[in-house]
Amino acid sequence: MPRSPRTLQQRLTEGVVIGAEGYVFELERRGYVKAGPFVPEVILDAPEALAQLHREFLRAGADVMVALTYYAHRDKLRAVRREGDLEAMNRRAVRIANEVAAEGDALVAGNVSNTWSFDPEHPVGSGRVVREQYREQLGWAVGEGIDFVIAETNDYVGEAVIALEVCQELGLPAMVTFASVQSERTYDGFSYVDACRVLADKGAALVGLNCSRGPETMLPLLERIRAAVDVPVAAQPVPYRTTHRTPAFESLEYEGGRRAFPIELEPFGLTRFEMADFARRARDIGVDYVGICCGGAPHHVRAMAEALGRTPPASRYSPAMELHPVLGGDGRQGSMGRWEGEDPAAAGSP
Ligand SMILES: [Zn+2]
């Protein structure tokens, strides 16, 4: 049963659908998820913290509440010795997403991801393990009620196809997106454009990219994907300053070579204005589902929603810098943005 009378397909024909993810990163920053394993134990350990982040994304303009079942599959839970919590964790995550979605008019997406269980050298045997994990996760999600599935951060076409097939068994529309970690190809050797084409041909409702790339390195690839497929395209970049030399945020480095990923990325972060610009550019090249991934926070989402012509509830508190005592237009601001004749350190903040 759809949670909202306006289905995903209807919304896609009406305009851009706004997504928001990055739950694991944001809840890690807030102290509810352990970096390293990145298992969303928050679902059972601090459900109110998860509900709050959903609510913040909803207020910021997200059209979809994505159940936080990323990495909540059997292998990962075994690794943190919580396999006994598998079903409870998956069900509770979908229930929380539904509860918050009902506060607005949002859709609820079930979520599966790269599992690290798939081995392209042994696609049949490892594929069976992956398929069982997706079946149990999505079976519980259907039991709790979802509108569609986001199968994301895929590194292998082989694994992504399994996710799509499980969605099809369950009669659910699937948005399937790849994490373009490498410069050109998936780990099983498909160009990212071909990878999307394969999934579109097999019946995915949307295809595209999420995670790994920031706007600058994701947009050129998105243009090629848009030209190659007839189905709606999805884009959820990370808000980080990736470059031609380091197209994925996993390889961003400090001078001297220290890796910034995953918990020293702040100096590479993009502002809300840069993400708003991404949202406009993505829409202009024909991307249908515009969102954000790891590193994303509600202020990014609000700016993106506003750039796409929306006025979400959180816009009530969008910036009004003309009312700032120092930066506002009352004539006291110096050319360097400081109070003239005053020691800037004494000007106070904010
Ligand atoms: Zn991500």
- With a cut of 50, list the residues of the chain below it in pLDDT: 1-2, 331, 333-342, 344, 346-347
Domain with 333 in it:
326-350
Q: What is the pLDDT of residue 346?
A: 47
Distance from the CA of 349 to the center of ligand 1, in angstroms? 33
**122 lies in a domain?**
yes
Distance from the CA of 323 to the center of ligand 1, in angstroms? 36
Q: Taking the model in full, what pTM does it have?
A: 0.93
159, with CB counted inside 10 A (0-12, 13-18, 19+), is buried
**2 lies in a domain?**
no
**CA–CA gap between residue 234 and residue 18 (Å, rounded):** 10
Residues 220 and 98 in one domain: yes
* Structure confidence by residue, pLDDT tens digits, 96-106: 999 999 999 99
Token pair in block for residue 181: 């970690």
Token pair in block for residue 218: 């994701």
**48 lies in a domain?**
yes
Tell me how far apart the terminal alpha carbons of the chain are, to the nearest angstrom.
47
Q: Which residues, chain by chain, have CB under 5 Å from ion ligand 1? A: 211, 293-294
Residues 192 and 229 in one domain: yes
**3 lies in a domain?**
no
Residues 210 and 339 in one domain: no
Residues 338 and 190 in one domain: no
Selection from 341, 338, 315 nearest residue 325 by Cα: 338
Residues 225 and 335 in one domain: no
Residues 40 and 104 in one domain: yes
Residues 338 and 197 in one domain: no
Distance from the CA of 20 to the center of ligand 1, in angstroms? 10
Q: What is the pLDDT of residue 3?
A: 63
Distance from the CA of 210 to the center of ligand 1, in angstroms? 6
Q: What is the pLDDT of residue 330?
A: 57
Distance from the CA of 241 to the center of ligand 1, in angstroms? 14
Q: What is the pLDDT of residue 320?
A: 95
Distance from the CA of 126 to the center of ligand 1, in angstroms? 24
* Structure confidence by residue, pLDDT tens digits, 142-192: 999 999 999 999 999 999 999 999 999 999 999 999 998 888 899 999 999
The answer to whether the CB of 74 falls within 8 A of the CB of 86 is: yes
Residues 315 and 348 in one domain: no
Distance from the CA of 116 to the center of ligand 1, in angstroms? 15
* Structure confidence by residue, pLDDT tens digits, 212-224: 999 999 999 999 9
Residues 342 and 224 in one domain: no
Number of domains in the chain: 2
**CA–CA gap between residue 146 and residue 101 (Å, rounded):** 11
Phi, then psi, of 84 in degrees rounded to 5:
-65, -20
The answer to whether the CB of 291 falls within 8 A of the CB of 16 is: no
Distance from the CA of 346 to the center of ligand 1, in angstroms? 41
Phi, then psi, of 275 in degrees rounded to 5:
-70, -35
CATH classification of the domain holding 125: 3.20.20.330
Distance from the CA of 168 to the center of ligand 1, in angstroms? 24
**90 lies in a domain?**
yes
**1 lies in a domain?**
no
Q: Alpha helices of the chain — where are they, by DSSP H?
A: 8-14, 23-29, 42-45, 47-60, 74-79, 86-101, 123-144, 157-169, 192-201, 215-228, 272-284, 298-307
Residues 150 and 44 in one domain: yes
Residues 162 and 253 in one domain: yes
Q: What is the pLDDT of residue 136?
A: 97
CA atoms within 13 A on the CB side of 116: 12
Query: Alpha carbon 193 to chain centroid distance?
Result: 20
Residue type, 316: R
Residues 258 and 336 in one domain: no
